[in-house]
Structure 1
């Protein structure tokens, strides 16, 4: 907020209203067009699906509600007490899910927030590069790069994941 010259002090009513407007809009953002059908396909293929979100429980709830009920678990930065790219969020997720690194394929759209953890923890990673201009970390290349999520089921099938 400071970068844009906007107040960030929650002490006055207008600031609280601005914060609520922002978080409500984030929570209402719809998924990309192919997401719900792809999640349905992945569930039909037997995958468990978890969102590891860099947000709070109440903010992500609106987004998850739009995903057709296909998400098995949501783990947030609020729950973990850490925000991406801090590895603690991913370590917390693994602990809560009770999975091994070999059982995880991390699918993400943000190289700078997610790839450092993939590199450091050693799990498989698929980057959904929607041509936003984001660039890879100089010291990490994901296992696969796709332009949309609907390419994931075929990738998994081809790699035996």
Structure 2
């Protein structure tokens, strides 16, 4: 029986910034030489992922700074005249006030277990978003606090330390197989893949289509 729930934030409780990313990437496309917006978006995402992977411990940088760097590289690559800080600022606006998924309220109302938010985003943006939602989880663990991004083990180990529960007594729920599922499993935490879009689920991974399914699985 689980004693606590670790929850990813963006893409799990609140909407990811995919639409906002395309909005700002359009500025790169309109002022540069990319063949299409998706090409520029993939280039930016790939750069951001590489920066995250290299950012931990003494080399750690907050997600906002990495986003600016990724935009700067993208702007230079496509000879764009867009402003990297303005583009990252638009993402930060979303991070601070993201729309909430429809299944969240019912899940939170029915849940009786302690909830800890475990997220790759910067602390200030998540705290602002939680305040705007009126949500007070039992704890918040960010990449900035752990000096590491998912799927690195440090962020999950810090979550275990903060919550005071063992890996056997918690489940982690998130919408990313590579970040949430892999990262949690690597430290012995049972992962649940929140698969709202009915993507292909890797073998051996337990998936749910809605947060409302969690209470049925946990029998709470």
After TM superposition, the score normalised by the length of structure 2 is: 0.59
Counterparts in 2 of 1:65 and 1:32: CA distance versus 1, 3 Å: same
Instruction: Indicate if the aligned counterparts of 2:71 and 2:88 stay in contact, CA closer than 8 A.
Output: no
Residues 66-81 of structure 1 aligned to structure 2 (within 5 Å): 66-81=132-147
1:15 to 84, 104, 107: 84
Q: In the alignment, which residue of structure 1 is the partner of 2:218? A: 156
The Cα shift of 1:94 comes to 1.0
Q: In the alignment, which residue of structure 2 is the partner of 1:102? A: 168
Question: Do residues 128 (structure 1) and 197 (structure 2) align?
Answer: no
Instruction: Indicate if the aligned counterparts of 1:8 and 1:15 stay in contact, CA closer than 8 A.
Output: no
Counterparts in 2 of 1:120 and 1:101: CA distance versus 1, 3 Å: same
SS of equivalent residue, structure 1 residue 23: helix
How far, CA to CA, are the matches of 1:130 and 1:106 in structure 2?
16
Q: In the alignment, which residue of structure 1 is the partner of 2:56? A: none
Q: In the alignment, which residue of structure 1 is the partner of 2:3? A: none
SS of equivalent residue, structure 2 residue 108: helix
Instruction: Indicate if the aligned counterparts of 1:110 and 1:134 stay in contact, CA closer than 8 A.
Output: no
Between structures 1 and 2, the one with greater helix share: 2
- Superposed CA RMSD in Å reads 2.6
SS of equivalent residue, structure 1 residue 7: helix
Question: Do residues 82 (structure 1) and 151 (structure 2) align?
Answer: no
Counterparts in 2 of 1:127 and 1:116: CA distance versus 1, 3 Å: same
Gaps of 5+ in 1: none
Instruction: Indicate if the aligned counterparts of 2:173 and 2:193 stay in contact, CA closer than 8 A.
Output: yes
How far, CA to CA, are the matches of 2:133 and 2:209 in structure 1?
20
Question: Do residues 37 (structure 1) and 106 (structure 2) align?
Answer: yes
After TM superposition, the score normalised by the length of structure 1 is: 0.78
Q: In the alignment, which residue of structure 1 is the partner of 2:94? A: 25
